[in-house]
Structure 1
Amino acid sequence: MRISTFEYFTSGVSTMNNQQASLSNLYAEISSGKSLQTAADNPLGAAQAVALTAQAANLAQYSTNQSSALTSLQQEDSTLTSVTNVMQSIQSLVVNAGNGTLNDTDRSALATQLQGYRSTLMTLANTTDANGNYIFAGFQGGSKPFNDNASGVGATYAGGPGQRQVQISDTRTINVADPGSAIFQSVSSNESSPVSSGSAANTGSGTIGPVSVTNSNDPANSSTYTITFGTTTTGTPPTTSTVSSYSVTALDPATGTTTTVTPPTPYTAGDNITLGSQTVAISGTPASGDTFTVAPANTGNVSDTDIFTTLDSLVNALKQPADSTSSLATLQNALTTAGTKISNTYNNVLTTQTAVGGREQEVTATQTAMQTTSTQTASNLSDLVSVNLPAAISQYEMTQTSLQAAQQAFAQIQKMSLFNYLSS
């Protein structure tokens, strides 16, 4: 078989071009550290690399979101811890204020101390983060959430109703801030006690105690009960006597109707009065016309669950002179009412803090799981696009040697001409 000189030249040049191109590609891989220079090098690998790169970018953003969410939750958790400490101090003060040996001056001093706790609580409710956003303002982070009412009693919430959220994974968005209205102007539905109170207009010495609940699921407990005192004549003439008595009415929140649930009944100080699945005792000597109420912790009226209103009312009660049995009874009733409301708010803060702690744990767990995913994604991407330097350098040296051999062979082939032999 004869091979023409043209074929020799063409084959040699083609071989050297291919080796030169291979050298160029290997050099580009070694210098860049990437085995995929263009999609044409490996179409399937390039598509996988694009998908992995996008996944890595998403994971990096989620990692940033997780760190931000955890910082926000930790600050809220820390602030709520401070709130619970203040609430505990307030509860101790309320107990102290019930000491019968205190005089008006002592109680006035306690009122001043309570005002200090109230100011601290307001400051905590208006806490800001490192960016100057109010952490309890809901969606309106730039607006101060709580402002004192012009009347001097209670506060108005000016923040948003919703919770700020951060997406920490493809499938999970987590709340990172609770609105202040749900903390300082609301109570926990599961951890709250009914509130008993005496009318400020009462003239007798009757005092109402805390409410005991025997069945928390009884629908009758949702009613607001009013206990009204009067007198009842007993016996048959000419032997009759007039005794103190009480009657009970219930206001149904669903229908707005008031019904009598207990007709006039002789009153015995200290005896339990049954109100649905609740009982309450009244002591002392109520005057005819005196009224007492027992209501659910949350009646739908913000002022009933606003801790600032509760504290302001208690400050006012402590500043009033208590120089008679009637005024002392009014003070005691105010302390009982405030004590229950403060306890309900305290439990609500604890419930919120527990939820915040749970979200912190969830973010931390997500961070741990996603770190593993991020590491694996980076490894897969590296395996796909990164060059194996030892192998690439070895291949480069081999290709370079082959090219040099091809060049030398081509030089020798150039000399293979019949004329060279004829001329000799």
Structure 2
Amino acid sequence: MKLTDNEVKNALVPSKGTKQLNDGGGLYLEIRASGKKYWKRKYTSPTTKKQTILHIGTYPDMGLKAARLANQKAQLLISDGIDPSEQKQAEKKGFNEKIQNTFEHIARTWHSDRAKQGDKWTPAHAHRVLRSLEIHIFPDLGKHPIADIMPLDVLTLLKRIEHAGKRDTAHKVYDVVNQVFSYAVRLRLCVFNPVAELRTELAQVKQKAFPHITDPKEIGELLRQIDGYNGMPTVRTALQIAPYVFVRPNELCGMKWGELDFQAALWHKDETEMKNGIAHVIPLSRQVIALIESMRPFTGHYEYVFHNRSTGKPITTESLSKAMQRLGYKDIATPHGFRHTASTRLNEMDYRGDWVEYQLAHKEKNSSRASYNYAQYLEQRATMLQEWADYLDQLKQAA
């Protein structure tokens, strides 16, 4: 006899082992001592000729009517010489392969591989790259098979970014997407790179220097304003150090006690912490050492000199930028602008350009990791930075 809905619903659970309620046509309900109920079917495989059990579904997720329909479909496959269990496995494999070949899955795999190459990306850069995809690309194309994505699909998203007034962001997102597709082509996951020729379709971006000041009197006034900043001591001290060393803001915020050699007055930055992926060494003036030492009672027992107790991480570059804005320097000067200020003034003061470039950690386009000596001109740069620190102090006192 056929089962009824009430019989299935009210079936008693065995005290141990399992029991079966047959519905006919090979379909039965297996009830386990745990209380779980499963729809199954016994059949002889048309391919192996062996007795086989097909797992159809779980009750109550699959009701009696749905189970009978699934059983009928299985019978049709068997009649056509197809093993329904093998068919189910094939469909599952195809579904998994489809997921694995989506743009988002391939992009995350590419990102993970690149992020593990510490000599290429800093952690902060790796985070920015992934976030650009999560914000601008994944919501629309993330679930699409990467081989099915066409040029217009991507260009539409890039133009949307442009129309929002973010031309520079559109170019950066394009660069990331282009690398993902190149990676997919190398792995033979798609036949061609659909975005390879799209750069010319984007509006050109004029590179602008970060806001900065070069007038000696204005530099002195800015330094005095920073000394009087009444925000977080870690932020104030980082801003006080920034003009002396003129490293990138993220490199400054990530300063670690373990990187500092106070006896030699040197700050060693590992290649994984640098934008260009090359180790760097920064001579420390007397003024910088004194400022760093002032942080020891507060953060000396942490990894980072500018430790943020509320997050357990170093302070952010955004905190430096906001402090500059509170001081009234929005669109006038930025933490990154100290690099431009130092470069301009030091060259005007007739210091050798290559000393300045090495101090800025600018890698020449035709130089390789092997030929780049991070300690190049170290003695000359140490003298230059001490004289630069003394010069800044004079400007501050004059102001």
TM class by shorter chain equals under 0.3
Return the TM-score normalized by structure 1.
Answer: 0.22
Larger Rg: 1
Return the TM-score normalized by structure 2.
Answer: 0.22
